[in-house]
């Protein structure tokens, strides 16, 4: 089946843009509700339960509060940049969502409609390029507010996001080496298995590239400025960080941007490491579109619906997982945050990329065909590397706590260090 063209393509693209944006907004609304419910569960309380049945209308009440509150702009702020910053914080995550394939192709009387707003040929590189723009909104908000607290938050945010952006990009290099393609739908199909067409790995990349997935999840958490990486807006230290001076809907845009980033990060993890919209242990959803337009598989509307549900469940899992982390793990100190990024992640990723490249080259040289055997060999290697890496971190030899640091200095003990503080 050929893809839609001409007027049908334009109409389908507009409809997909509107529907996907509505889905993203609904996801943000449900995420805020879930976050409060998860917080209530972790703290042995009910969470939202007053506004509407089960507290579901609390989200609407919060939205009205953002819209109706008085908007205050500091007199000393740089007004143009102060207004522009929230939009810059919201823009990257919204645009990123447009290149994520959400489901299998949908057959229509006018042709095949791919469940992706913009199937750009360089989707992988597009993700890295747009993700790097998020730091501008944070820096601009911190500087334009003309406040010391906001400025400190902006400095922290820029240093943190640039540091972990390197780890985020490097963690995807093994995915690129394994898939051999930068198109997002191709990354999904390479994790499926087909009876015909080019060979695929038949296994989600989270198994043969386990360590890469771990680095990407942690770096993605740092990029979203979520606990334990929320140093740019640490309430106990710098009031509210880069958005201290914001109120009303401008603050609401930062709020929306955080949850947009959260959902987009969960969706990207699903695409890169969990097979995207692939349903495990079922071959019926394995539909692939080759470069020449040939469709392998049998696309139907109910398969599209099932794959959309599967993708939503995977993304929701990671969103809830990040919420549980927020209410479980305490915030890092700033020096620990930088040490983890520059002294641990980047050197470890450089070594990991070299080891993965050698392993892939060795398997190719040994004549191991692309498929389950290839994936199983990489899984065994990654399992061993993961154990070594976690053991090294757990022993405290790479990221030392405050007590270990004081003991490492001759003549200084933990007691004398605390007295000096």
What tens digit of pLDDT does each residue of 144-155 get? 888 888 888 888
For residue 329, give the nearest of 232, 231, 228, 237 by alpha carbon. 228
| Cβ–Cβ under 8 Å, residues 223 and 265 | yes
What's the pTM value of the predicted model, to 2 decimals?
Answer: 0.86
Please give the pLDDT value at position 379: 92
Please give the pLDDT value at position 350: 93
Residues of the chain below pLDDT 50: 414, 417-421
Structure tokens at 112: 């095949």
For residue 167, give the nearest of 115, 220, 210, 116 by alpha carbon. 220
The C-alpha atoms of residue 207 and residue 170 are separated, in whole angstroms, by 18
Q: What are phi and psi of 229, to 5 degrees?
A: -110, 30
Chain mean position to CA 353: 21
The C-alpha atoms of residue 308 and residue 218 are separated, in whole angstroms, by 25
The C-alpha atoms of residue 198 and residue 189 are separated, in whole angstroms, by 10
Please give the pLDDT value at position 420: 47
| Cβ–Cβ under 8 Å, residues 111 and 59 | no
Please give the pLDDT value at position 293: 62
Annotated domain spans of the chain: 69-405
| Cβ–Cβ under 8 Å, residues 22 and 29 | no
The C-alpha atoms of residue 319 and residue 330 are separated, in whole angstroms, by 18
């Amino acid at each position: 089946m050929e893809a839609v063209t001409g007027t049908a393509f334009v109409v389908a693209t507009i409809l997909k843009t509107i529907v996907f944006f509505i889905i993203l907004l609904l996801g943000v609304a449900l995420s805020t509700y879930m976050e409060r419910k998860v917080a209530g569960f972790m703290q042995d309380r009910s969470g939202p339960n007053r506004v509407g049945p089960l507290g579901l209308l609390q989200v609407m009440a919060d939205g009205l509060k953002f819209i109706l509150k008085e908007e205050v702009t500091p007199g000393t702020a740089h007004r143009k940049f102060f207004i522009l910053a929230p939009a810059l914080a919201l823009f990257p995550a919204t645009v990123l969502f447009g290149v994520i394939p959400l489901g299998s192709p949908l057959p229509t009387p006018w042709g095949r409609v791919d469940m992706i707003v913009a199937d750009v040929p360089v989707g992988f590189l597009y993700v890295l390029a747009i993700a790097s723009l998020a730091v501008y909104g944070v820096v601009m908000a911190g500087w334009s507010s003309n406040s010391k607290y906001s400025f400190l938050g902006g400095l922290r945010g820029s240093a943190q996001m640039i540091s972990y952006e390197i780890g985020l990009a490097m963690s995807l290099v093994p995915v690129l080496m394994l898939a051999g393609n930068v198109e997002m739908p191709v990354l999904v199909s390479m994790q499926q298995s087909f009876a015909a067409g080019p060979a695929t790995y038949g296994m989600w990349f989270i198994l043969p590239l386990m360590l890469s997935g771990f680095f990407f999840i942690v770096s993605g958490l740092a990029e979203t400025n979520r606990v334990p990486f929320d140093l740019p807006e640490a309430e106990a230290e710098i009031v509210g960080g880069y958005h201290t001076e914001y109120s009303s809907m401008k603050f609401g845009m930062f709020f929306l941007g955080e949850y947009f980033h959260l959902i987009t990060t969960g969706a990207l993890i699903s695409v890169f490491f969990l097979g995207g919209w692939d349903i495990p242990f079922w071959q019926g959803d394995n539909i692939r579109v080759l470069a020449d337009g040939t469709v392998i598989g049998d696309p139907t509307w109910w398969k599209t619906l099932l794959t959309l549900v599967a993708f939503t469940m995977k993304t929701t899992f990671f969103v809830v997982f990040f919420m549980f982390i927020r209410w479980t793990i305490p915030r890092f100190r700033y020096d620990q945050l930088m040490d983890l990024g520059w002294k641990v992640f980047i050197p470890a990723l450089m070594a990991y990329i070299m080891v993965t490249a050698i392993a892939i080259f060795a398997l190719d040289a040994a004549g191991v065909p692309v498929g389950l055997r290839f994936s199983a060999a990489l899984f065994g290697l990654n399992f061993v590397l993961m154990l070594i890496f976690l053991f090294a971190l757990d022993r405290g030899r790479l990221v030392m706590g405050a007590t270990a640091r004081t003991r490492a200095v001759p003549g200084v003990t933990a007691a004398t260090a605390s007295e000096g503080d």
